[in-house]
Structure 1
Amino acid sequence: MAKELNYDLIKQTAEGYRKDMTKFLRAMISHPSESAEEGEVIACIKAEMERLGFDEVTVDGLGNVIGYVGDGDKIIALDGHTDTVGIGNRDNWTHDPYEGYEDDEVIYGRGGSDQEGGVCSAVYAAKMMKDLDLIPEGYKVMVVGSVQEEDCDGMCWQYIVNKDFGGPEAARDKIAFVISTEPTDGGVYRGHRGRMEIRVDVRGVSCHGSAPERGDNAIYKMADIIADVRALNNNGCTESTAIKGLAKMLDPKYNPDHYEDARFLGRGTCTVSQVYFTSPSRCAVADSCAISIDRRMTAGETYESCLEEVRNLPAVKKYGDDVKVSMYMYDRPSWTGEVYETEAYFPTWINKESAPHVKALVDAHKALFGDKRIGCAPSMDKREGRPLCDKWTFSTNCVAIQGRYGIPCVGFGPGAESQAHAPNEITYKDDLVTCAALYTAALNLYDGTGASDEDATEFRASLTDNDIK
């Protein structure tokens, strides 16, 4: 199916859209779009797709905007989430986070790197493919501006797979692979750690604060548990260590089947991210306390093993039936009012470097730009020396697309992970151009003839038995 590609023409065409992409990204940034509040930016993207002549543009029930070019039976998709985190302390920003500014090299504002820049490059890549008659034969290109990723990674694609396509089998049959346009700092990314959100609840008994010995302080109990959670993250794994740290999964002794994959992805982590309590008053002993734990999972770890690790912490066992360890569920309404309830569990995944969809991006990069990461002046020092084919530190919608449903994924996107969620966020104009060119070439280099899930997947974490539809 591959056409003879004029790589210079692809680069020139992408460069020709630099000003248009800059204008489009700044327009997206101007619309505040925290999770479940993306309506304005979705309308902005929909209008741009229609203006550029997409063959079909729709907004689904959850509020994802989906545009198509081409008329083939199979689909190659480009995904970028449209929601952003908040701005945090406004005093940490030197300029308005939503008005921002641009200079010759960067675009400033919340969402530029994470990750409306990726949506921008994807939209213009589809336009380029149509302009240059480079829509791969037998395929149509699907560009997704997805919602609520910051709140619940991949839930948007659970909706797309189960509601828009009618289920995982139908989606796998139609979609050859998906490129995530999350920021990759100039690299092609073939996997990342999974994550889950764990809740620990502790019961106590309240009493008057003047005689605390009459009660049972839930905050004191939780303090012991928090110390153990910290040890679980920080400790080593020698035989004498009472709480063996998560670094143990890098050791073949503790993770014989997947330690090499774990070394590629990096060790798992855990941290207490939120604390809650109840008490009759400020003059009383607290009668309950709860914490949230952000748990990043490497290869070889499962949702069951992560829950059991917390349940087996010395302080948790010490307080027995007064402690409950559970996994969060997510049911926040989208900006359309639609609710898609799912578990707060996001499976780990890795592709083989030889997988056809990964190879297509690597080959496109080598043909267009060479075999090393290319950079922009502000970010070059962070890109030099890093392998071209690598992995994300954070989590993406691929936890559902490939981790849950086995639809092959690969990542290449404008911007840098270090800009995500940070004040004074920027992205790089050169990256917008680079990504649009690479998407155009890569889709035309893809050869999925005879490819199977086994050809692509190095590791996928197990799923729960919850029947999430």
Structure 2
Amino acid sequence: MTDALTGTPPGQDQGRRPGWLLPEAERHRGRVTDLLADLVHTPSLSTDEAAVVERLRAAMVDLGYDEVQVDPLGSVIGRIGDGPVTIVFDSHIDTVDVGSRDEWARDPFEPAILPDAGGGVLHGRGASDDKGGMAAMVHGAALYKELAYDPRVTLYVVGSVQEEACDGLALEHLLTKVLPRPDLVVLGEATRCQVFRGNRGRIEALIRVAGSSCHASAPERGVNPVYGLAPIVEAVRRLNDRLPSGPFLGPGTVALTKIECETPSLNAVPATATLYLDRRLTEGEDPDSALAELRALPEVQAVGATVELLTYEATSFTGIPVRQEKRFATWTTPADHPGVRAGLATGRDALGQELSLGRWVFSTNGVASMGKLGIPTIGFGPGDEVHAHTAHDQCPVDDLVTAVAWYAGFPSRFADTLTATRGPAAEEGGLL
């Protein structure tokens, strides 16, 4: 049963002042910062996440999770509760590589807390993308169990693998083969501690021009495909300038990310030339329409170039082979969805703050949970995505504490909102 005026179960949050969880989350400041530092210190490229998984598994056990397991692809899963309302907290635990070490002011795997603002900022690879979210979720769920536990809720906290290499692959496996279908997925990707509800989809594709190789001393004997590729490069640049812009997700984009040619030697004309593209898809666009658009470019047709979708193939650290086309759906969760409303309400209740709604510029595991599976998805995470994949990767420590409080307060607030949406009869009839 719920309170008739507040929709809150007896004893749940009644009489508590707005922002009540922030001082409680402060008790976790040192431990959540130490966990993030450990995660940053431990390299975890896609398919090589085993050490980070073990660190997270141990943390969940130490914090008193009801159950901790590792799924076949290697994602770590902690469970709290066994109620009918199912929520999945997901943060990916793999990172991109560091790139040129010359860009880094310090060792990317030796976390450093600098007095940049407030309680300091932790720097190191993965701090913003997405180990800060993971550390805060682990401790936020523990605080939820301690102070805000709701018997209506089953909460899963997931550290998913291989996101940087193939968005959504591991989370889709988990949601379709390991866990029951949840009512909501909450992503820990960086949102500056605001509530996000969507991101653009994308494809990774190549355009290849075939030529005829010959000795470079007599180039007229062959056909150099690089010259056929040159006008396509300019066509791609012009295409980016005329792509549509969505009302919420913003403009579609296309970026040339790599060019290569296949040649027998440096004194031979190449046999093929290939460029690689990252194409971001806004509202109204989809992977098939984006591929058709590339194939229709006059410059592509003029030289008989081929356009192909790339495929991701790898083996997880657990030894399981995976394969998936690199097509990722655009997604948004409606602004009036119970999950979105609960996210904003948690800001008022747990943090004493009015939060704003937004969306990610980069891609997230939401391309699988909402984009492919239709499971409502929102996001809340510490840090700012502008630092992702850069030599300035960082997460404010104050953001970690704020996120711990939000994650602790959200499950019960979501159950309240879901109850109010479906009606008290649903709860009394065991439908929640």
Map Cα deviations across residues 180-233 of structure 1 (whole Å, 9 max, x no partner): 000001321011111111121221101111221221111111112111111101
1:448 aligned partner: 418
Code of the aligned partner of 1:399: V
2:222 aligned partner: 215
2:293 aligned partner: 309
Work out whether residues 76 and 177 of structure 1, in 8 Å CA contact, stay in contact via their aligned partners in 2.
yes
2:428 aligned partner: none
CA distance in 2 between partners of 1:8 and 1:351 (Å): 26
The SS at the match of 1:186 is: coil
1:319 aligned partner: 303
2:34 aligned partner: 23
1:258 aligned partner: none
Alignment of 1:343-354 (within 5 A): 343-354=325-336
Q: Shift of the alpha carbon at 1:421?
A: 0.7
1:389 aligned partner: 357
2:429 aligned partner: none
Q: Shift of the alpha carbon at 1:157?
A: 1.1
2:319 aligned partner: 337
Q: Shift of the alpha carbon at 1:89?
A: 1.0
CA distance in 1 between partners of 2:161 and 2:332 (Å): 24
The SS at the match of 2:54 is: helix
Q: How many residues align?
A: 405
Q: Shift of the alpha carbon at 1:136?
A: 2.6
In structure 2, which of residues 131, 142, 146 is the aligned counterpart of residue 127 of structure 1? 142
* Corresponding position: 1:409 with 2:367: no
1:256 aligned partner: none
CA distance in 1 between partners of 2:316 and 2:420 (Å): 38
CA distance in 2 between partners of 1:217 and 1:98 (Å): 44
The SS at the match of 2:402 is: helix
* Corresponding position: 1:433 with 2:401: yes
The SS at the match of 1:430 is: helix
Scaled by the length of structure 2, what TM-score is found?
Answer: 0.90
Work out whether residues 95 and 424 of structure 1, in 8 Å CA contact, stay in contact via their aligned partners in 2.
no
In structure 2, which of residues 252, 265, 268 is the aligned counterpart of residue 284 of structure 1? 268
CA distance in 2 between partners of 1:100 and 1:145 (Å): 20
CA distance in 1 between partners of 2:249 and 2:19 (Å): 35
1:238 aligned partner: none
CA gap of 1:372–1:161, structure 2 versus 1, over 3 A, is closer
Code of the aligned partner of 2:249: L
Q: Shift of the alpha carbon at 1:370?
A: 4.9
CA distance in 2 between partners of 1:219 and 1:138 (Å): 62
CA distance in 1 between partners of 2:122 and 2:169 (Å): 29
CA distance in 1 between partners of 2:299 and 2:380 (Å): 43
Alignment of 1:98-137 (within 5 A): 98-103=109-114, 104-132=119-147, 134-137=148-151
Map Cα deviations across residues 119-155 of structure 1 (whole Å, 9 max, x no partner): 11111111111111x2333221100000111111100
Work out whether residues 135 and 141 of structure 1, in 8 Å CA contact, stay in contact via their aligned partners in 2.
no
Q: Shift of the alpha carbon at 1:74?
A: 3.6
CA distance in 1 between partners of 2:405 and 2:348 (Å): 12
Alignment of 1:42-191 (within 5 A): 42-103=53-114, 104-132=119-147, 134-165=148-179, 171-172=180-181, 175-191=182-198
Work out whether residues 333 and 370 of structure 2, in 8 Å CA contact, stay in contact via their aligned partners in 1.
no
Q: Shift of the alpha carbon at 1:366?
A: 2.4
Work out whether residues 159 and 340 of structure 1, in 8 Å CA contact, stay in contact via their aligned partners in 2.
no
Scaled by the length of structure 1, what TM-score is found?
Answer: 0.83
Task: Quote the sequence identity (%).
Answer: 39
- Structure 1 unmatched ranges of 5 or more: 166-170, 235-244, 251-261, 374-387, 453-469
